[in-house]
Structures are given as C-alpha cells and as structure tokens.
Amino acid sequence: MEEERTEEAITVMCEAIDLFHEVARAPHRDTHLAQEALRSCFATAGNVHRAREPERDHPANQTHDTSTSI
C-alpha cells in the first residue's frame, strides 16, 4: 500500500481475508485491520478513472467513409 500498488494490495488482502474466514472465527484484530486497509484501497481506487485504449478491431471503433464524390 505504501508503494501505491493499490490493485496488487486489493488482491493480496482479499485472498488473506478469505483464507481467514475459512480457517478461523471473528473477532480477530489483524483481520479487522486488513479489512480497514482494504476499504482504504477501494476508496482510493474508486476516486480514479482510468480510460482504456479503444480496441482497434471492435466494430464500434471502426470508421466508415460514407462520403460520396461527384
């Protein structure tokens, strides 16, 4: 998280929290802290919009010349 690799942090913490819920029972301080950190990651990721590059072969992105020449 300190290195601002939010997507990687989200993946790692989700896996760790899921594992905890398979093998243990709440309340568990470290899991609660991980959930709060995960919430912060989601908040950070939710405040940024990343536009994807358009797919070149997608029909909606292809231009068609409809002009006519006289």
Q: Is the dihedral of CA 36, 40, 42, 46 positive or negative?
A: positive
Average pLDDT, the chain: 78
pLDDT at 31 over 70: yes
| Apex 47 CA angle, 44 and 50, nearest 5 | 105
pLDDT value of position 2: 61
Locate the domains of the chain by residue range.
1-46
17-29: pLDDT as tens digits: 999 989 988 788 9
pLDDT at 48 over 70: no
pLDDT category, 43, cuts 50, 70, 90? confident
pTM of the predicted model over 0.75 = no
The alpha carbon of residue 10 and the mean position of all alpha carbons in its chain are separated, in whole angstroms, by: 7
